[in-house]
Amino acid sequence: MTLPAEVEVRWRRVPEGTARRAVSRALLAELLPGASFAARCARCGGDHGRLRVSGADAAVSVSYAEGWAFTVAASGTLCVGLDAVPVAVTGLERVLPGADARSWARVEAVLKADGRGLTVDPARVRFAAAPAGADWSARIGDGPALTGWDVTGPPGVVVAVALPTRG
């Protein structure tokens, strides 16, 4: 399926010796010129976690996989989640029984859109039929519905985006 017009995903290789965060912030600056981005972890105070946007009516999310930085910007919404996972990843079943790269990317996108990330047990994410124009929908427990899309990324990486369901 095609992402809504107000949602844009970009990715770029992280050059050797370059901080991946610098690459993701440069991509976000291209998507939302003039905006600034900051993260502050509520648990430890570190400069990681959910990114907040100033200077634009948009939400953003980032992910990193296989030497790539991935970003999404969604205009006119309060939250968006993005995750990118190498197709050949192993060990996911230890965290989420039965998970493969595609299902894990979807779960992480949902958890990021929710805002709590991995502070929530990934097994609480439940998938349902997709609304028109989307690839899937999900919710955490009895929380609000999120709509999701599987995005074509670079070879060897699966990408998923989740947004609040409208309407």
Phi, psi of 20 (to 5 degrees): -60, -35
Mean pLDDT of 40-56: 84
How far, in Å, CA of 27 to CA of 149, rounded?
20
Neighbours of 107 (CB within 10 A): 29
Mean pLDDT of 52-74: 96
How far, in Å, CA of 119 to CA of 141, rounded?
14
The whole-chain average pLDDT of the chain stands at 93
Residue 167: per-residue pLDDT = 64
Of 35-49, 60-74, 138-152, the one with minimum mean pLDDT is 35-49
State both tokens at 95: 């965290």
Residue 166: per-residue pLDDT = 82
Mean pLDDT of 92-97: 88
pLDDT at 134 over 90: yes
Q: What is the pTM of this model?
A: 0.94
Mean pLDDT of 62-67: 96
| pLDDT tens by residue, 5-17 | 999 999 999 999 9
Q: Name all contacts of 49-58 with Cβ < 8 Å and 24+ positions apart.
A: 49/117, 50/112, 50/115, 50/117, 56/32, 58/32
pLDDT at 41 over 90: no
Half-sphere exposure of 61 (CA within 13 A, CB side): 28
pLDDT at 1 over 70: no
Q: Where are the beta strands (DSSP E) in the chain?
A: 7-13, 36-39, 51-54, 58-65, 68-75, 81-86, 125-128, 136-140, 146-152, 157-164
| pLDDT tens by residue, 66-90 | 999 999 999 999 899 999 999 999 9
Better-scored residue on pLDDT, 37 or 39? 37
State both tokens at 139: 């919710």
Q: Do 31 and 8 contact (CB within 8 A), yes or no?
A: yes
pLDDT at 119 over 90: no
